[in-house]
Amino acid sequence: MKAPALLQNVAAISQLLLDQVATTVFDPTTQRIHVTGDHAFVPPGQDDYRGPCPGLNALANHNFIPHNGVATIDQLISASEEVFGLGNDMASLKAIYGTAISASGDLIHMSIGQAPSPAIAPLDLNVPETVVPGGLDFTHNSFESDASPTREDKYQSANGDASNMSLPLFIELYNRQSGIPDDQVNYSLSTLADHRAQRVQDSIMQDPLFFLSPFDGLLLTGFTYNIIFTLMANRSAEHAEGRLDRDTLMSFFGVTRDVYSSAFNYNRGWERIPDIWYRRPIDDPYTIEKSNVDLLGAIQKHPDLLNKYAIGGNTNGVNTHRSVSIKELTNGTYTLQNLPDGNNLSCLALIGGSLLCPEWLKGYYVHYNTTVMNLIRELPPLFASLNCPTLSSMDPRFFSDMFAGFNASLPYIH
Ligand code: HEM
Ligand SMILES: *[C@@H]1O[C@H](CO)[C@@H](O)[C@H](O)[C@H]1NC(C)=O
Ligand SMILES: *[C@@H]1O[C@H](CO)[C@@H](O)[C@H](O)[C@H]1NC(C)=O
Ligand SMILES: *[C@@H]1O[C@H](CO)[C@@H](O)[C@H](O)[C@H]1NC(C)=O
Ligand SMILES: *[C@@H]1O[C@H](CO)[C@@H](O)[C@H](O)[C@H]1NC(C)=O
Ligand SMILES: *[C@@H]1O[C@H](CO)[C@@H](O)[C@H](O)[C@H]1NC(C)=O
Ligand SMILES: *[C@@H]1O[C@H](CO)[C@@H](O)[C@H](O)[C@H]1NC(C)=O
Ligand SMILES: *[C@@H]1O[C@H](CO)[C@@H](O)[C@H](O)[C@H]1NC(C)=O
């Protein structure tokens, strides 16, 4: 492609090769997700579960996971990988953690929404529980988090429903590209970071029990913003690196627009894969390491997302935000200064998630250490390659002493 003279320069050749590797290649055959036949869109019926995750709702509506919304860990992992290009490490982490923390009745099946009927979700008598098995709706602050892109906080809205989409919040996101011509619109990572910075302020100002744990505040919350672009953007020959336009955004969030009045409409749980949609390249799964780069990108644009708001919440009603000292929390292993290095940011989130989850699990499962913890012990190997500086424990009093929002999420009333 370049002038042949370049070929005489070894350095230039290797640079050319590097450029080729770095260039995203669009392959319409492998990237097209066909949504006809068995995978045609079928909206949820009365007995189908749908919840806070638009990705899983869409997978269920298109029968990539069972239409009733109760799926096995393996089904959740393979559908997330095959349809959206989520990395195996993140898909496994989410599916395993989600199944454990939603009080699954058999530690195999997970409801993507409300507590499932025992007729659909099997109960394993070897996994006795002190609570009724739940679903993703049940996982407030242990998984489902505050300051989400289009869901209100559990203790922000009057009805405590953090799973249903808020149409006003969706419209706020949608309007972040207002005035831009249709063929240039792109809900980019940078646009999504702006939305996130605002949503954190919303939570501080409107949710007296606002709280972000290490897992949510360092990783999960930012990740859910970033995957709106990285997993939902449409790919084409022209934009192999992806462009997320208005129609694709609306479709994945289950929103339609009246052609005459321009009014937006949301049918709960109707998240839909567009008829003509191309996923991210097959050989470019969105792994923990790739996600870490994008998490740092958001922090670069809005440094307070790390410096002030990563771990912590309101301490005494709205507008009383305080953050937890990362240095004190980790006994000096991690600091605000070394978190942006390598994968340290994701490391602390993942280790924090593994160390803190017994606070919920021991209240849900009778013999938690010999049942659900065996599942949780499958998580650290997923991120072993990150070579994370280890922590032996994490004291929950860093959260319970200050944040009523943490206490409110625990299985026992304090
Ligand atoms: C095993 C797989 C998955 C599990 C267990 C899972 C679970 C969740 C949970 C618990 C939330 C709520 C987090 C919050 O409150 O902010 C969430 C949100 C979200 N998920 Fe998933 N998810 C999975 C896969 C996916 C995939 C494949 C996509 C594809 C794009 C996706 C896209 C999203 C988005 C965009 C949100 C934010 C929703 C909003 O508030 O606007 N997820 N997911
Ligand atoms: C869900 O949210 C939509 C849009 O904000 C709203 O119109 C609808 O009433 C809500 N549905 C339920 C069941 O709460
Ligand atoms: C859209 O935004 C993404 C992520 O920020 C960027 O990588 C991509 O190049 C943008 N696409 C276009 C067509 O501008
Ligand atoms: C996705 O991109 C393709 C071209 O690769 C285009 O034909 C299609 O209309 C786009 N889909 C949406 C929903 O924008
Ligand atoms: C914290 O580090 C200090 C000094 O290295 C050590 O003496 C102490 O035992 C550690 N505390 C915990 C809770 O790990
Ligand atoms: C990560 O944190 C550790 C301390 O726990 C620090 O020594 C290291 O330099 C940081 N950066 C990388 C790339 O690991
Ligand atoms: C929990 O189980 C692990 C692994 O089987 C074991 O090493 C540990 O001692 C157990 N902890 C308690 C408190 O029983
Ligand atoms: C949370 O509960 C613990 C244990 O009951 C209690 O000591 C603490 O004061 C509570 N925290 C807040 C902020 O209310």
Q: What is the CA(267)–ligand 4 centre distance, in A?
A: 23
Instruction: Tell me how far apart the alpha carbons of residues 341 and 364 are, in angstroms, rounded to a whole number.
Output: 36
* Count of the separate structural domains present in the chain: 1
Q: How far is CA 272 from CA 33, 39, 78, 152, 269, in A?
A: 12, 11, 18, 21, 9
| Residue 186 CA, closest ligand 3 atom number | 1
Instruction: Find out whether the beta carbon of 97 lies less than 6 Å from any atom of ligand 3.
Output: no
pLDDT at residue 157, as a whole number: 76
Nearest CA to ligand 6 atom 13: 342
Q: What is the CA(145)–ligand 3 centre distance, in A?
A: 27
In this prediction the pTM is 0.94
Amino acid at 307: N
Query: Token digits for 237?
Result: 């020959």
Per-residue pLDDT of the chain (414 residues; tens, 9 = 90+): 444 443 445 444 445 544 444 567 999 999 999 999 999 999 999 999 999 999 999 999 999 999 999 999 999 999 999 999 999 999 999 999 999 999 999 999 999 999 999 999 999 999 999 999 999 999 999 999 999 999 999 999 767 899 999 999 999 999 999 999 999 999 999 999 999 999 999 999 999 999 999 999 999 999 999 999 999 999 999 999 999 999 999 999 999 999 999 999 999 999 999 999 999 999 999 999 999 999 999 999 999 999 999 999 999 999 999 999 999 999 999 999 999 999 999 999 999 999 999 999 999 999 999 999 999 999 999 999 999 999 999 999 999 999 999 999 999 754
CATH number for position 399: 1.10.489.10
pLDDT at residue 141, as a whole number: 95
Nearest CA to ligand 1 atom 26: 55
Q: What is the CA(346)–ligand 7 centre distance, in A?
A: 26
Question: Residues near ligand 4 with C-beta < 6 Å?
Answer: 234, 236, 245, 247-248, 274, 276-278
Is the CB of residue 281 less than 8 Å from the CB of residue 24?
yes
Instruction: Tell me how far apart the alpha carbons of residues 95 and 97 are, in angstroms, rounded to a whole number.
Output: 6
Nearest CA to ligand 8 atom 1: 400
Q: Which domain holds residue 28?
A: 5-413
Nearest CA to ligand 3 atom 13: 243
Instruction: Tell me how far apart the alpha carbons of residues 253 and 195 are, in angstroms, rounded to a whole number.
Output: 16
pLDDT digits (tens, 9 = 90+) for 64-115: 999 999 999 999 999 999 999 999 999 999 999 999 999 999 999 999 999 9
Q: Which of 49, 50, 56 to mutate to test the pocket of ligand 1 (most atoms within 8 A of CB)?
A: 56
| Residue 173 CA, closest ligand 1 atom number | 41
Instruction: Find out whether the beta carbon of 53 lies less than 6 Å from any atom of ligand 1.
Output: yes
**Closest C-alpha to 251, from 12, 23, 57, 1:** 57
| Residue 275 CA, closest ligand 4 atom number | 13
Nearest CA to ligand 3 atom 11: 243
| Residue 147 CA, closest ligand 1 atom number | 16
pLDDT at residue 158, as a whole number: 63
| Residue 151 CA, closest ligand 1 atom number | 40
Q: How far is CA 172 from CA 184, 260, 264, 414, in A?
A: 19, 21, 12, 36
Q: What is the DSSP letter of 116?
A: P
pLDDT digits (tens, 9 = 90+) for 168-206: 999 999 999 999 999 999 999 999 999 999 999 999 999
Instruction: Find out whether the beta carbon of 188 lies less than 6 Å from any atom of ligand 3.
Output: yes
**Closest C-alpha to 277, from 226, 232, 225:** 232
The count of other CB atoms within 10 Å of the CB of residue 319 is: 11
Instruction: Find out whether the beta carbon of 189 lies less than 6 Å from any atom of ligand 3.
Output: yes
Instruction: Tell me how far apart the alpha carbons of residues 209 and 319 are, in angstroms, rounded to a whole number.
Output: 10
**Closest C-alpha to 245, from 195, 197, 181:** 181
Q: What is the CA(236)–ligand 4 centre distance, in A?
A: 7
